[in-house]
Structure 1
Amino acid sequence: MSDYAIGDLQGCLEAFDCLLKKIAFNPDRDRLFLAGDLINRGPDSLGTLRRVYQLRDNVHSVLGNHDLHLLAVAHGATESKRKDTLAEILNAPDRVELLGWLQQHPLLIDLAEHNATLTHAGIPPLWTLAEARSRAAEVEAVLKDDRCGEFFAHMYGNQPAGWDDSLAGPDRWRVITNHFTRMRFVNTAGELDLTTKGEADAPPRGFLPWFLHPQRKATGTRLLFGHWAALEGHTGVAKVDALDTGCVWGGSLTALRLDDLTRIQCHC
């Protein structure tokens, strides 16, 4: 049995199928852990979502910002953007089944046997792993009950920029969601800059990549994340593994075999 952590698919079905073939994926023994953003911007979002759903007994995925955007559009909380490739999913005959399944996914997955934790964008540097688990569970519970409409209606926005224990309701959910699905740069107080998407060595003034924060607390586990294609799969930090290698932008799709940390790639 082998476990693989795989970066952002973003609707790149051909590359995903290539990777499954390259790792000789066997549903009788192997498991896939996906870093979220299964869909959007790529050429076949519907086909990709269907393939992952087809493999659902062997697939464990976290939610990414594009996945949540799809769900918000489906709930009528916002409209599709010009560059979205979501129409086929929204018009599909199996839409209800696919989206209902997608909405049940978590923001954080612990892989205890590998001493690793998977999220889409990372673990906020000033949160302990226990705090991250607890806060992820708060939003996961909201997505699974009748508060989900309120969640999607207030999901968008960059404020508040930082965590405060007194936050409640939609503001609290939004901050948690932004940290797990949109985070790249933070300042020393742990506040997010959500407008800069560039390379790690070109941060906005007063900010740095979250994984380089000098007081990062979740250091006792391997952190697996996607979201930041500009990193090209490299953080320079031990036990912090970037998985998004920009498949949808013409890069590659990466699988990290967790048993021995071998990287397998298909060029896109």
Structure 2
Amino acid sequence: MTDYAIGDIQGCYDRLRDVLARVSFSPSRDRLWVAGDLINRGPSSLETLRYIESLGSSAVVVLGNHDLHLLAVALGGHPPRRKDTLADILEAPDHDRLVAWLRQQNLCVRDRTRNLVMVHAGVPHIWSAGQAEAYAREVEAIIRGDDAGEYFTHMYGNEPHCWDENLRGMDRWRVITNYFTRMRFIAQDGTLELATKEAAASAPNGYKPWFEYSREDDVRVVFGHWAALEGQTGSNQFIGLDTGCVWGGLLTMMNLDTGEKIHCDC
């Protein structure tokens, strides 16, 4: 079995199949780890979602902000945005099944054997890998439970800006969600800056890319979300796989054991 991790697909189904063909991917012997943002902005969100769901246990998926946005539209009463390409999913005859499957996916996946976690945006330096895993389980339980509609109705927002263990309810779940799915720049105390989306060198005063802070553990973090990085973090500990496929860049997949990266020009 070979485990491959892939960056933001965002509905670019043809490119996904191209890059999988380059390694002769077979779900009977391989697994695909997807670092979030399976869908949206690209031309084939429905085909992408159906394919990943069809892989069953051969797919290991974390939710990205675009995946959560689909759930917010489907369950939380939010209207689609102008640039969304979600209509094919929302109108599909298997819409309910696909939404139910998406709700079962994780925010953080931890592989202790490889000393690795996969998330969409990152893991803040103020959390250990164990804490990140525990906080992810809290929000995943809400997404899967009877209160999911209420969660998605109130999911959006930039506040609280910073983690506090004493937070409760929606404030707690929102800031956990923002760390896992929206984070780029962060302050030493864990305060998030969510407006800036440019490259790492564009950090606002008082902030740095989340991966430039030292961690107390040596866990490797596989993530997507930040296309402007073009996969460059300057560290083997933090592995960025979003290389801007939907923006005309590359779709990048990596062998989790050898570190070999396979690219498809988009």
What TM bracket, shorter-length normalisation?
A: over 0.9
**1:11–1:44: 8 Å Cα contact kept in structure 2?**
yes
Distance (Å, rounded) in 1 between the aligned partners of 2:222 and 2:203: 21
Runs of 4 or more off by more than 4 Å in structure 1?
Answer: none
After superposition, give the CA deviation of every residue in 1:184-226 in whole Å (9 maximum; x if it has no partner): 0001111000111000011111111000024x33x32111000
Structure 1 residue 17, shift from structure 2 partner: 0.4
Structure 1 residue 55, shift from structure 2 partner: 1.5
Matched with 2:232 is 234
**2:5–2:256: 8 Å Cα contact kept in structure 1?**
yes
After superposition, give the CA deviation of every residue in 1:104-158 in whole Å (9 maximum; x if it has no partner): 1010011233221100001011111111111001001111111111110110000
3-state SS in 2 of match to 1:114? coil
Distance (Å, rounded) in 2 between the aligned partners of 1:213 and 1:40: 31
146-155 or 107-116: which moved more? 107-116
Distance (Å, rounded) in 2 between the aligned partners of 1:27 and 1:209: 35
Distance (Å, rounded) in 2 between the aligned partners of 1:112 and 1:49: 28
Matched with 1:39 is 39
3-state SS in 2 of match to 1:52? helix
Give unpaired runs (5+ residues) of structure 1: none
Structure 1 residue 57, shift from structure 2 partner: 2.7
After superposition, give the CA deviation of every residue in 1:146-190 in whole Å (9 maximum; x if it has no partner): 111111011000000000111000110000000000000001111
Matched with 2:265 is 267
Distance (Å, rounded) in 2 between the aligned partners of 1:266 and 1:112: 29
Superposition RMSD on alpha carbons, in Å? Answer: 0.9
Matched with 1:249 is 247
Query: Could you tell me the TM-score, scaled by structure 2's length?
Result: 0.98
Distance (Å, rounded) in 2 between the aligned partners of 1:23 and 1:265: 11
Residues matched between the structures, number: 266
Matched with 1:71 is 71
Letter in 2 for 1:112: R
Distance (Å, rounded) in 1 between the aligned partners of 2:265 and 2:254: 15
Matched with 1:186 is 186
Give unpaired runs (5+ residues) of structure 2: none
Matched with 1:223 is 221
Letter in 2 for 1:26: S
Structure 1 residue 238, shift from structure 2 partner: 2.5
**1:252–1:265: 8 Å Cα contact kept in structure 2?**
yes
